[in-house]
Structure 1
């Protein structure tokens, strides 16, 4: 059973506040602009993502979003909601199950599956959905701060 949480008022949860079952989610629309910006940022100009004429002749029968664009939406949750500010990715496994297309909205759900107090790391179950269809999943290991940075005031 998971407990859906909002972002911490400080911007991030510290290690001692995390527990198995905490979860967060975010809805992110896939737009033409996001695909183009990701192509520019990653230098991945594969025509299956950018050229409808080319993509319509592939097994996907049309353009699809970069898989790593969809996967990066998990980073949006990890870096801003759960655990949030100060957390650092150590590793991420990923499996892609279905393509994502322009106009889809991806719902990313992240849930804590283990907390290691000694290493200040958490394991997170990461899932992406379009509607009720699981489009990708994997496990992330993330380092989490043990304490908050003191206020600059």
Structure 2
């Protein structure tokens, strides 16, 4: 596992296939409420315990895209980090995530296209040892760091 780069982000030439970063996030009722507010997705399976208890999930579950956003947090803050721009993402959801779960978002460099300054990142989210979401993100990565000028 790698740590965030001291500059805030890795540049293209610093990336190597197989580099992996991880972030742990606890799913709370507050996170679900905030995500619903931000996304305008108030599906009662996420918001209403009485409704959700009568579904196949037998209780409230987190939004799938909330779980996916944990992978986005790794991409934007650790690997590659600051300056990375999402170009695309595939997502597969395997299991629900619930209030109180600790999600482990893991991102691994799968391929590097030096000519296009793009990388494909394998994104996975686990709860315990169970895979709950996976997919591939295509990301543009800076070729060099911006020079900070003193004002």
**2:94 aligned residue:** 97
Q: With structure 1 as the length reference, what TM-score do the two structures score? A: 0.97
Aligned equivalents of 1:113, 1:21: Cα separation in 2: 6
Q: Which residues of structure 1 form unaligned runs of 5+?
A: none
Q: With structure 2 as the length reference, what TM-score do the two structures score? A: 0.98
1:135 paired to 2:132: yes
**1:148 aligned residue:** 145
How large is the RMSD of aligned CA atoms in angstroms? 0.5
CA displacement, residues 42-90 of structure 1 (integer Å, 9 cap, x when unaligned): 0000000000000000000000000000000111000000000000000
The list of structure 1 runs, each at least 4 consecutive aligned residues, that deviate by more than 4 angstroms after superposition, is none
1:126 paired to 2:147: no
Q: Which residues of structure 2 form unaligned runs of 5+?
A: none
Aligned equivalents of 2:131, 2:45: Cα separation in 1: 21
**2:64 aligned residue:** 67
What SS is found at the alignment partner of 2:42?
A: coil
1:6 paired to 2:3: yes
